Each structure stands twice: as C-alpha cells, then as structure tokens.
Amino acid sequence: MREYLLTLCITAAVTYLLTGPVRKFAIVAGAMPEIRARDVHREPTPRLGGIAMFFGLCAGLLVADHLSNLDQVFDSSNEPRALLSGAALIWLIGVLDDKFEIDALIKLGGQMIAAGVMVMQGLTILWLPIPGVGTVSLTQWQGTLLTVALVVITINAVNFVDGLDGLAAGMVCIAAAAFFLYAYRIWYGYGIESAAPATLFAAILMGMCLGFLPHNMHPARIFMGDSGSMLIGLVLAAGAISITGQVDPDALKLNLGGSTRDATHAMLPVFIPLVMPLTIIAIPFADLVLAIVRRTWNGQSPFAADRGHLHHRLLEIGHSHSRAVLIMYFWSALIAFGAVAYSVHSASGMWVMLGVVALSFVGLVLLLLPRFTPHTPRWAERLVPPRYRRRRATAGEASATSAGEVSATDMRDEKREEDESGEGDRTPIPAGVNGATAIGARSRFTDRRKAGSSR
C-alpha cells in the first residue's frame, strides 16, 4: 500500500506543479478559444491542462518502475508500456484539438487507433466471466473489438461530462478510488498478481486528478481540454480492461479451495468485473446515451454540441455551479462505492442494497431542501481570498434597505457614476500572461449574464 500511496503522491505533485506553467504556456500559445453558446463560463479560459496530467502519468510510471514491490509489474507484464503508448497517442490528438479544433470523426478515429495500439501490445480482453456459464474465452477479433469499444465509450463518456469546473476530474477521481479498492483487494487479498497493473493504473489516475483539481475547481484557472479528458478516460478504460479480461477468475476459486457454490457466494468479485467498468462510469455513460438519443431524435449529428447534458440541466433548474458539481459527485460515489461494497460484503448483499436505497433517499431529500449560500465566518475572512468574503453593505445601502426603497434620483446618480467610472461597460479585467495560478488572483467579470444559449 505504501508504494501505491507514494506513486499517487508523486503523480499528484508533478501534475499540480506543472499545471501553473502549462497555463501560462497555453495563454502564450493562444489556446484560449472564444466562449461558445453551450459554455457556462463567462471569460476565455486556457486549455491544455492535459499536458500537465500526461507528464504526471509519466512521472508515476517512472517512480513505480523503481520501487521494489512494483517493479515486477513492468517485468512480468507489458501493460504499463501499452498504456503509455496509447496515452501518448490520445494525448497528442487532444493537444491538437485544444489548439486547432479538429473534426469529431478524426478524433474518433484517433481514439480507435490508440485502443488498437494498446491491443497490439497485449492490453486486451482475453476472456469474460459470465455468471452461470463460467469463463468464456474470446477469439482475437472478439477481444479486439470489445476492447476498442470499451475504450472509445469510456473516453467519450468522460469527455461528455467535462462541462463544469472540476466535474470530470472529480468524477473520474471518485471512480478511480472505488476501482483502486476493488483492484487492491484482488491483488493483495487473494494474491492475484495479474491485478497489480490495474491497481497501479487506478492509483496513478487518482494522482492525476487530485493534482489538477486545485487549478480546475470553480472558478477554474485552466481547463483540462480534450487532451486531459480523453487521457483520463483512456487510463480508466485501461484499468477496467486489465482487471476484467486479464485476471483469470479461476484463480480466485483455487485460492479458496472450496466447492463451486462456496466460491460463487464467497468470491463475488469473480463476476463483478462484468458490471464494475459500467458502474464507475455510470453517470457519464448515462449522459452519453441520453445525448446521442436526444441529438438523433432532433435530426442532429450525435457529435453536435448542445446544452442538454445533465450538468446543464442542473444549472437550468436553479442549482449553482458548485452545487451541481457536488450533486454529480454524490451520485457517482454512491454508484461506484455501492458496487465495491456489494462485492466485498456479498453475504449481506441485501443490506448493502438497502443501504444504497437509503442513501439515495437521503440524497433526494437534501436536493429538495431550499438552497442556501454558504459564507465564510467573519473571523476567518482575512484568511480566504476576497471572492469568498461577504459583501459589506455601505452606509447608504443600509439606510436605503431600512427605509425599504431607493429613490429614482439616487438610482440615476448611481447609474451616472457607473458610466463615468467605466463600470457600466461591464468589461473584463484581463489576467495577462503572468496572471492567476492555483492560489493567486484572477480576472473578474462584472457581467453576470449567462453566455448565449443555442436553445
């Protein structure tokens, strides 16, 4: 466990430290596209955050290769090299898209090629454990097609939910944490060495997301862009493929030494790989399916962008940006960790399901409560940035509030003062090339209106 935690921390540190310089590079390179109709941010924000995440991935793999308990993963398996090859290809495609906005079909072809590169180096699904049937071996073509499909679906599912600050990185981090617990239990608990690569991939993926999140939380200083969203989607798919199609389900039964019935009841993880890859991307996958159905029904291309995603709908019904992100976090954690808990406590599966239902009910009740805006306590305002402090009312505003009205003359005077000071133009204050970092200042917009909508 210590080696995995060290790898996670190194990956997070490298990603965090490189994101600031990458942000300045993105500004200089002009990777700051104009605000589109479907965007929810109000000012141009640099992309290319995937550059820092990719170097974090490389640092994590390099550190793991020099650790005594993890170097066997590289000696006995070619999966880390396959992951790095596919990640490098998908990362280059994402960088080009963040800068030049390449066509969607070209990106789809690049995703399939990246998946094919991993298949050629051995990262593929060899068999499937099916309940009631047993282990079903796949032919080479069947394994290749299934692997490519899983990679493409996962990449696009993660890419589709990358619409709010911190949403994609946080949801993937939650999924990676649940997947790490599952894979680590298979590797350490039952001595299945084939599960070690998937455990390593999950730890590195958590580090990539945790290192990038401080820069990407609302209000975001930088976006991961397609270079980041497609990268973390590919790493997530690689872990799912490794634990699903590389780990022999019969090994769990042999370690137990029991009958088939006892092994089935005691070792439910034999069958969990069938649903685990779907549970960790359940919310992104649902959003992907709904988006395809919605666009096809309206006569549009499935790749046409719109403002109909789940996070857009949460904003439309009145949730704030941060609250919408937290809601998506909650449901992702509920589904992913619920599946892991069910695999661990298989004997009391009914109680786990009842617990999931209870948590769902609590979540719905909390969502129906009146919304409130949290504020920093007065005594702690000096310790937080100005944007998190309460707005202090002036003496004139206080007297007007107590009287219950403001005269038309005062309103005209305020309007005249705004016009004379230039605030009426509602223009942004640019941050500049040497502007905000993860903890520094940022440019602010006085205009609170939403970006134009296509609907």
| DSSP state string for 164-197 | STTHHHHHHHHHHHHHHHHHHIIIIIH--GGGHH
Q: Cβ contacts of residue 387 below 8 Å, gap of 6+?
A: 219, 444
Q: Alpha-carbon distance 13 to 275, whole Å?
A: 32
Q: Looking at the predicted structure, is the pLDDT value of residue 453 above 70?
A: no
The letter for the amino acid at 121 is Q
- The whole-chain average pLDDT of the chain stands at 75
Q: Looking at the predicted structure, is the pLDDT value of residue 284 above 60?
A: yes
Q: Looking at the predicted structure, is the pLDDT value of residue 218 above 60?
A: yes
Taking residues 155-172, report their average pLDDT. Answer: 85
pLDDT-based confidence at 426, cuts 50/70/90? Answer: very low
Query: What pLDDT does 62 receive?
Result: 94
pLDDT-based confidence at 256, cuts 50/70/90? Answer: very low
Q: Cβ contacts of residue 248 below 8 Å, gap of 6+?
A: 127, 135, 192, 194
Least confident of 204-218, 260-274, 378-392, 436-450: 436-450
Is 226 annotated as belonging to a binding site? yes
Q: Looking at the predicted structure, is the pLDDT value of residue 368 above 90?
A: no
pTM: 0.74
Q: Alpha-carbon distance 53 to 57, whole Å?
A: 6
- Residue 135: beta bridge partners? 129
Q: Alpha-carbon distance 237 to 83, whole Å?
A: 10
DSSP letter assigned to residue 72: H
DSSP letter assigned to residue 188: I
> Do 135 and 176 meet the contact criterion of CB atoms below 8 Å apart?
no
Query: What pLDDT does 182 receive?
Result: 83
Q: For residues 189 and 156, which has the higher predicted lDDT (pLDDT)?
A: 156
Is 159 annotated as belonging to a binding site? yes
Query: What pLDDT does 202 receive?
Result: 93
Q: Alpha-carbon distance 203 to 164, whole Å?
A: 24
